[in-house]
Amino acid sequence: MKKSLLINNTILFSTLLIFVISLQMLSRGITFVFPHLFYIPILISAYYYPKKGIYAAAGISLFYVIPVIFFFSGDIIVIFSALIRMLMFIVIAALVSYLVERSLGNQEENEHLMEFQNRIIENPRVMVTVSDSENQIIIWNKGAENITGYPKSEVLGRSDIWRQILSDNEDIEELKSRIRKIKSNLGNIDGIPLPLVRKDGEIRYVVVSLQAMNSKQEDISKILGIAVDITENRRLEAENRAALNQIENNVSKMYILNDQIRNPLAIILGQIEIKQSTSRQIICEQVIQINDIISQLDRDSIESTKIIDYLRKHYGSFNEEQ
């Protein structure tokens, strides 16, 4: 508020002061040099009020043109020169306003871009870390806090955090070896499966990708690490495999059960043929009906087997080798 008032007063008083100087100069027949003083309020207006810069320039220019017309009403050349200068005032104000608006637009765009990047980095579902040449943590995002249970305040500047969250020494040495490799080659490594130990002792499984980063100002690379928690996926895959195995066992048992039912039916039919029972026709019809039901179960079991084979072939989550 105070800054805006100061700017407005500066524009107003400088315009009035230059207007008074213009009257003095024009009254003495001087038409050169002093008009350049009008650039002061015009440029201030265009810079601080870019959307109104053209209108301000046109208004301020009138403080110059009107006195010229008053003092040199009969001199067409002087009046024409004043109008040309007024046009120059407006054009320059328009150019300054355009550059200021463009600069503000780029600044706003950069702010939006930075905000967008920060949202990506602070994704609560993805672990993002950056470590320096000494393996000290310099970035530890919200996702890293959620997955490991360690807050940023306990991690930044530390290089030993990996020994706490990696339970297996072989995993630690393997990770160090890969980091040295990508630092020397400035490359990247994707898809490293690792078990992490949270601060509360819970085991979480993640897939880690590493990327070496360097800048023109420094030769030593930083390491960007991105990890995705796959603990829930592993649990679901295990449940899927268990369910699939159970289905296979049930289908196998169904085959065996069907055979066990058919054998007694065959014996019953044989006994009826031998004894020529009066209820022979009724019993035979019932036996045939039972046999048809069992045959339908056989066909359903075959279809189930085909479905199981299809799932194993096309869906990795059902593959027991995973």
State the pLDDT at residue 322.
39
Distance CA 43, CA 99 (A): 12
CB 283 within 8 A of CB 277: yes
Asked whether the predicted pLDDT for residue 307 surpasses 50, the reply is yes
Give the angle subtended at the CA of 206 by the CAs of 200 and 173, to the nearest 5°. Answer: 90
Q: What is the pTM of this model?
A: 0.48
Q: What is the pLDDT of residues 13-70, one digit of tens each?
A: 888 998 899 888 888 888 878 888 888 998 888 888 888 878 888 889 899 899 989 8
Asked whether the predicted pLDDT for residue 231 surpasses 80, the reply is yes
Average pLDDT over residues 225-231: 87
State the pLDDT at residue 319.
45
For residue 172, give the 3-state DSSP assignment: helix
Q: What is the pLDDT of residues 60-108, one digit of tens each?
A: 989 989 998 988 887 888 888 888 888 888 888 888 888 888 777 767 7
Q: Which of 35, 28, 96, 110 is nearest to 65 (CA)?
A: 35
State the pLDDT at residue 5.
82
For residue 73, give the 3-state DSSP assignment: coil
Higher pLDDT, 183 or 231: 231
Q: In 183-307, at which residue ranges do the beta strands (DSSP E only) sit?
A: 188-197, 203-215, 218-229
State the pLDDT at residue 186.
59
State the pLDDT at residue 310.
65
Q: What is the pLDDT of residues 107-151, one digit of tens each?
A: 776 677 677 667 767 777 788 888 887 888 988 988 899 999 999
Q: What is the pLDDT of residues 172-227, one digit of tens each?
A: 677 777 776 766 665 677 777 888 889 898 988 888 888 777 655 455 567 888 88
21 CB contacts (<8 Å, ≥6 apart)? Answer: 34, 37
State the pLDDT at residue 149.
92
State the pLDDT at residue 304.
67
Across the beta sheet with 126-131, the strand order is 137-140, 126-131, 218-229, 203-215, 188-197
State the pLDDT at residue 29.
85
Distance CA 296, CA 290 (A): 10
